[in-house]
Structure 1
Amino acid sequence: MEYYTPRCKICLICGDEASGCHYGVLTCGSCKVFFKRAMEGQHNYLCAGRNDCIVDKIRRKNCPACRLRKCCQAGMVLGGELFSSGFIKIALQDESQSLTQRLSFSPNQEIQFVPPMISVLRGIEPEVVYAGYDNTKPETPSSLLTSLNHLCERQLLCVVKWSKLLPGFRNLHIDDQITLIQYSWMSLMVFAMGWRSYKHVSGQMLYFAPDLILNEQRMKESSFYSLCLSMWQLPQEFVRLQVSQEEFLCMKALLLLNTIPLEGLRSQSQFDEMRTSYIRELVKAIGLRQKGVVANSQRFYQLTKLMDSMHDLHLFCLNTFLQSRALSVEFPEMMSEVIAAQLPKILAGMVKPLLFHKK
């Protein structure tokens, strides 16, 4: 007589027998406790090898850096015990390999305490994208906007890939993932452009790409000078506030989560937990400055006000791109589809901006 033996559930981190869904991922009790302590504690894990250590039941304690990275890759997020989905869709193989490579550390790298989640955010930052702009040809209003549109399409693909690697995002319903990207992609691009302008040219110009940088004169000569002035305020705010990379990374993650449909999301509770987790990470990033409770509270107020201002800038960008159609500007198909999907809902008041402060 044959007996059927139920298959035990396997921990997605170390392969041991899983005790349940912990922080959004099917894991064993050991990996559950490890992740909680790593995320809440003051640890700065560094791999002594090549950031490719084997994490299994026997060797899971050998390298906490690789173990934590595997937890984050799988989508573990504090608060994830409320997630309705017990199984996590792992990111595509090429994305996982790319993340592992980009999280590697140089042996001579200066050791500095950084919260584990922020280290992951550093590792998944997209590579530099070039506009492919030909500076030798005469510049016309339509040629500049056409180049920007094609740059936007390349950056949109980067946003999609980045979001898949963002811890917790793939736990959301696939419809919610698409919706959040549609509502935030423009803000994310402008925010990243503001950061590049701040870091590379001290906020003196608009650094769209290494081969497309606009000084004030070129802004004036463009067909979207008023938009340039509005966008230019962003890197100037970065300069004024001296925003750190850790703060920028957390703010960028929150911008992906700053607008939802009026009726809410399918996985609203999971979304709320994820957003709360990244707000906590921003608080940790601010705390790295070690200025004290009062100063940290003031800075949190300043940075969240800056994030709130992105809602208006987002609308300004969309309207400008729509008006540019009259200039015979080329719109890539993917970009046109995304704008067509989001703009009617925004104009009809069917979206809910998640503001930190009342206007």
Structure 2
Amino acid sequence: MSSEESMCSICNVRESSGFSYGVLCCGACKMFFRRALFVKNIDTCRQKGECIKKCRYCRFQKCIQAGMSYTPTENLLELKNNDSLSAFIFNLAHQDELRKYQLMNCRYDGDPTVAEIAEHNTPLNFTKKPDDFPMNLGEWIFITGLTSLNYLKKFNHVNMLNASDRHFLLKYSFFDMSIFTDSMRACEKGEGVITFPDGTEVIRAEVPGLEQKFLNGIRCRLAARVNELKVTKEEFLLLSAVFFCNPGLPGISESGRGILSTYQKIYTSALLQYCLLTYQQTGPTRFTDLLSVLQVVTKTRQDISYLFILNSIRGPPSALKKIFIFR
């Protein structure tokens, strides 16, 4: 290992002591990240991000950007472990804020496949988007997919999988994550139709004779369910984790299914405990209602895939990015 490779990926000053929370880091940065998760004394940067070495906020953001991720191993259904549940949600919230920032402000140079993305444990390298960068439908689809992939690949269980399982997990999950985030954005804006941040429609029908009811189902079904349940940010974060641990996905090996089953139980317990703490007697009902969202996500994704197939009959899309090509 070279001296550069042995340096902490957070501070880049001290030598790393090994992999902790998914990244190569030193003991000081490891302890800082853990304390920040549990104490949560992270105030907004007064220098607008220009004080990396001194500001706790900026140092924590460097941890998040480097891919540090916390997953509790305790039984979250025990009240004594509520601090671990809170730390887990805190970590997910900051990861999601980074996803939103990258979606709105960044671009990605290149056209990688999901397999290529899955090969590397490090986060994707986004660049700042110029103010005059044209965001058409294709660009929104691409950046939404990539930011979803970048968010998902930081989960601890992803790096425990072999390369093949990691590829299949990301390939069959990132689109669900993308349309789920679209529906949450619609809910936050008080809208009943999923669109991209600038209002661009998520789908455009080009197949003559396709029923409007079918198209409206794609546009509105998931957003309507999320609005109906009034899914909170915390519930969205925990649900996303549960959805992203499906051991029944095609192509996953037996050992991979075992890893996903273990982590799905952890994330499901976290969601259930959150519901019990938040809604008390109606917590179990709320838990069941939230899990039903997965069926709506799946149905919406299937309809979009069907629409894509119908469009492809007329000819392959010229600008289709490789992450959307299943192979």
Smaller-chain TM-score bracket:
0.5 to 0.7
Q: Does 1:186 align with 2:175?
A: yes
What's the CA shift string for 1:243-274, capped at 9, x where partnerless?
22343345445545546334338877776777
Contact kept? 1:44, 1:116, Cα under 8 Å = no
* Deviation, structure 1 residue 234: 1.3
Which residue is 2:116 aligned to? none
Partner residue, 1:43: 40
Q: Which runs of 5+ in 1 are unaligned?
A: 1-5, 56-61, 82-113, 130-149, 342-359
Residue 117 (structure 1) aligned to one of 92, 100, 106:
92
Alignment check: 8 A CA contact 2:279 2:286 kept = no
1:161 Cα offset (Å): 3.8
Partner secondary structure for residue 10 of structure 2: coil
Equivalent residue runs for 1:1-359 within 5 Å: 9-14=6-11, 15-39=13-37, 41-49=38-46, 50-55=48-53, 62-79=54-71, 115-125=90-100, 126-127=102-103, 151=137, 154-166=140-152, 167-168=154-155, 171=159, 175-203=164-192, 205-207=193-195, 210-212=198-200, 223-231=210-218, 232-252=220-240, 255-258=243-246, 260-264=249-253, 291-326=278-313, 328=314, 331-335=317-321, 338-341=324-327
Structure 2: state its 5+ residue gaps: 74-88, 106-135
Percent identity over the alignment? 22
Structure-2-length-normalised TM-score? 0.62
Name the aligned partner's letter for residue 75 of structure 1.
G
Kindly state the Cα deviation for residue 118 of structure 1 after the two structures are TM-superposed. Answer: 0.4
Q: CA deviation at 1:116?
A: 3.9
Quick one: structure 1 residues 201 and 71, their matched pair in 2 at CA, closer, same or farther if it must change by over 3 Å?
closer
Kept in 1: contact 2:99–2:148 (CA 8 A): yes
Question: C-alpha displacement at 1:75, in angstroms?
Answer: 2.0
Shift of 1:238: 1.4
The CA deviation string for residues 255-311 of structure 1, in whole angstroms up to 9 with x for no partner, is 455463343388777767776776677568768xx6344444443332222124322
CA contact (8 A) 1:21 1:27 kept: yes
Distance, in Å, in 1 between the alignment partners of 2:196 and 2:44 is: 35
Q: Is the 8 A contact 2:221 2:300 kept in 1?
A: no
Q: Could you tell me which amino acid in structure 2 is paired with residue 122 of structure 1?
A: E
Deviation at 1:43, TM superposition (A): 1.4
For 1:67 and 1:223, the matched residues in 2 are separated by 52
- Residue aligned with 1:21, SS: strand
Q: Classify the secondary structure of the residue corresponding to 1:26.
A: strand
Contact preservation (8 Å) 2:45, 2:58 = no
User: Structure 1 counterpart of 2:224, which letter?
Assistant: Q
Cα 1:293/1:254, change in 2 over 3 Å: same
The separation in 2 between residues aligned to 1:273 and 1:72, in whole angstroms, is 24
The structural deviation recorded for 1:122 is 1.6
**In 1, distance between residues paired with 2:270 and 2:62?**
19
Alignment correspondent of 1:133: none
Contact 1:118 1:281 survives alignment (8 Å): no
Q: Deviations over 1:333-358 (max 9, x none)?
A: 535873443xxxxxxxxxxxxxxxxx
CA contact (8 A) 1:153 1:335 kept: no
Over 3 Å counting, the alpha-carbon distance change for 1:23 and 1:116 in structure 2 is closer
Distance 1:124 1:280 in 2: 25
| Structure-2 separation of matches of 1:325 and 1:196 | 29
TM-score (norm 1): 0.57
| Count of aligned residue pairs for this structure pair | 269
Aligned CA distance change for structure 1 residues 18 and 128 (closer, same or farther; 3 Å): closer
The whole-number CA distance in structure 2 between the counterparts of 1:224 and 1:257 is 34
Q: CA RMSD in A?
A: 4.3
Question: d(CA) in 2 for partners of 1:226 and 1:293?
Answer: 38
